[in-house]
Amino acid sequence: MLSLFSLLLRRSSTSMLAISVIGIAAGLCNSALIALISQALGSTPSTLETMVAGYLALCAGVLVGNTVPEILLARLSRAITSDLRLKLGRRILAAPFRRLEMIGKGPVLAALAQDVQSIVNTASRLPSLVVSLTIVLGCLGYMVWLSPRGMLLVLPAMALLVLFYVFAARRLVPLWRQERDTQDELHREQQQVLDGIKELKLHGPRRHEFMERDFAPAVEHVRHASLRAAISGALLSNFVHFFTWLVLGVMLFGVFTLTTHDSEATRGYVLSLMYMWGPFRGLIEDIGRWPQVSIALDKLAQLEVSLSEPVPDEAADTLAVALPPGGRHEVLLEGVTYAFGDTDAAHSFHVGPIDLALRPGELVFVVGGNGSGKTTLAKLLTGLYTPKSGRLMWNGVPVTNQNREAYRNTFSAIFTDFHLFENLRGVDPTLLEGGAREYLRLFELDTKLQVVEGRFSTTSLSTGQRKRLAMIVALLEDRPFYLFDEWAADQDPEFREVFYRKILPELAARGKGVIVITHDDRYFHLAHRVIKLELGRTVTAVAA
């Protein structure tokens, strides 16, 4: 909770000060109202007029004092939520690619959806917390003024209740933590449903098994964990409810005995206790729920740590340092190796050592069987993976964590699991109009879509068409290097021809270094070099 306060204070200490001051004023108005009501019950008609004016003024004070902090805090908590979401988004973008592959989407989505919301919900309750606290303190002050002796009963009873609640609420923390942990698993399975919807729809037994053995257990774990937390929370809350009435009864009847000769004090005590008891119970229940926000903040912090935690030999992007400008763009891999997971593990896959040069105007085909390491090599070459050993050089400059971001930006790549953005972000607008129209015609997409205000009118296309659209984006990017991972695999023969006989030679003629991962042996002769991979190693590197 302290972290939530420091988050709020760091975002706007002025707003927090205003929330506290106005909240206290609202609480005081509330307490003054009850004191006034208590006085009015025993007043004479002559004083009533002043009291009505005072009553209306206090009501207005309560209205303003409750509304303003709520508005201020609504703005503040939304601003914090946006900050958290943006920060997390930036962390995700800056995290090593391999780290993201290892974490998976489940925990990231759970943090974005669940934890950030839980922080807003708790933060939104702060104004009522300030008001409640002030009402309680105001009423206590009024009761002390009426009869200090009555406090001998009231204060110990309240302290007892607070102690009881804080102690009992502590037992809820592991249950809340468990409930939150199960959410990661559920998000993972929900992601599987959406990603694998076709496969599940087409295969009844698979769908049945998936539901029974994966999805349902994840839902059940959440149900079980949240039910335990909810029942324990309800038991505690209702026991506190019961206990508060019990203590209130003891106090009320005790107050009668303690203030028996003073009817105004008795009336004031009864009214104040009745009035402050709701806010007091709300206050301790809110305080008891504070650990929930700590759990959410912990989860966000854990995710941030694991996003920035380096994978052995992988590093998060540091500030992008530009590589020295060079007219010629040349990439050199010298003895580069890579391994998934523990290098010594029996099943870990090793790539390399690989020596490879990619020069301007060169067309290099990478071939090899499934699982031979072609895509892994492509990720190494494009700077998505960091070599475990060996050197990656760009124009004679070693690619390091400082300049890797700049290095990656020299590539346009279409991987097999490419993503197509509707907005053509990062493309030179002067190239867009004419260039896009021409390429859309070449790839026979001009009847399907247009570029309107820097975005494609649609991306709802067939797989082959979407790949052709991705090719158009890559060509418009006009980068020094191109990498195509089995681009032609799902194209009609006619577009394969366009790809191998027109696009690739034209890119090479424009001085681009082009890597093509392919199984199309009919076109191998078009490459300047063909590199064959087997079990992560180059077995042949021949001039075609």
Count CB neighbours of 509 within 10 A: 10
Written as one letter, the residue type at 280 is F
Q: How far is the CB of 91 from ligand ATP (least distance, A)?
A: 20
Q: How far is the CB of 200 from ligand ATP (least distance, A)?
A: 22
What backbone torsions phi and psi does residue 289 show, to the nearest 5 degrees? -90, -5
Q: Please, which residue, 177 or 537, has the CB nearer to ligand ATP?
A: 537
Using CA atoms of 74, 77, 79, 82 in order, give the dihedral in degrees to the nearest 10: -120
3-state secondary structure 450-469: CEECCEECCCCCCHHHHHHH
491-496 contact pairs (CB < 8 A, 24+)? 491/464, 491/467, 492/464, 495/443, 495/464, 495/468, 496/520, 496/523
Count CB neighbours of 131 within 10 A: 27
Q: Please, which residue, 281 or 374, has the CB nearer to ligand ATP?
A: 374
Q: Please, which residue, 353 or 368, has the CB nearer to ligand ATP?
A: 368
Query: Using CA atoms, how far apart are residues 514 and 294, in angstroms rounded to an integer?
Result: 50
Q: Please, which residue, 196 or 217, has the CB nearer to ligand ATP?
A: 196
Q: Please, which residue, 502 or 522, has the CB nearer to ligand ATP?
A: 522
Query: Using CA atoms, how far apart are residues 56 and 369, in angstroms rounded to an integer?
Result: 84
Query: Using CA atoms, how far apart are residues 242 and 341, in angstroms rounded to an integer?
Result: 56
Q: Please, which residue, 57 or 535, has the CB nearer to ligand ATP?
A: 535
Which among 252, 392, 308, 246 has a CA at the least distance from the CA of 90?
A: 308
Which pair of structure tokens corresponds to residue 422? Answer: 């509707």
Q: Please, which residue, 55 or 340, has the CB nearer to ligand ATP?
A: 340
Q: How far is the CB of 112 from ligand ATP (least distance, A)?
A: 22
What backbone torsions phi and psi does residue 225 show, to the nearest 5 degrees? -65, -40
Which pair of structure tokens corresponds to residue 364? Answer: 């290099």
Q: How far is the CB of 237 from ligand ATP (least distance, A)?
A: 46
How long, in residues, is the chain?
544
Q: How far is the CB of 349 from ligand ATP (least distance, A)?
A: 4
Q: How far is the CB of 355 from ligand ATP (least distance, A)?
A: 18
Residues that bind ligand ATP (CB under 6 A): 101, 340, 349, 368, 370-376
Q: Please, which residue, 147 or 386, has the CB nearer to ligand ATP?
A: 386
Strand (E) positions, 359-480?
A: 363-368, 389-394, 397-398, 411-414, 451-452, 455-456
Q: How far is the CB of 197 from ligand ATP (least distance, A)?
A: 22
Q: How far is the CB of 522 from ligand ATP (least distance, A)?
A: 17
